[in-house]
């Protein structure tokens, strides 16, 4: 098979389009996966950035029952509504 510039260009365009489709599917999957009862969930990294608290401080809040969380697949996740309530009351 002979590849000229036009064929190479067309193949590259096709690869880029496929990559975009895959990225969109992965974004949708991560959004779906991080939902519980149709509510978005945040992970520890997101919570640390939002609250600007240390991981140890957040761990203390969880232990005291101040910060509700859900353990899903061995990962602590936080409902957005719970985080909003927590921020209003404690931060």
Q: How far is CA 6 from CA 41, 48, 58, in A?
A: 46, 49, 56
Comparing 50 with 1, the larger pLDDT belongs to 50
Supply the CATH classification number for the domain 37-91: 1.10.10.10
Q: How far is CA 69 from CA 8, 27, 58, 78, in A?
A: 51, 23, 11, 5
9-63 pLDDT, tens digit each: 998 999 999 888 888 776 765 665 667 677 888 889 989 999 999 999 999 999 9
Give pLDDT, residue 30: 64
Every domain of the chain and the residues it spans: 1-33, 37-91
User: Which whole number is the average pLDDT over 73-90?
Assistant: 90
């Amino acid at each position: 098979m002979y590849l000229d510039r036009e064929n190479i260009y067309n193949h590259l365009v096709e690869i880029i389009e496929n990559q975009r489709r895959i990225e969109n599917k992965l974004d949708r999957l991560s959004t779906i996966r991080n939902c519980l009862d149709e509510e978005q969930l945040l992970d520890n990294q997101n919570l640390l950035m939002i609250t600007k608290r240390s991981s140890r401080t957040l761990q203390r809040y969880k232990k005291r029952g101040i910060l509700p969380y859900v353990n899903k697949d061995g990962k602590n996740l936080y409902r957005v509504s719970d985080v909003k309530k927590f921020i209003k009351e404690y931060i």
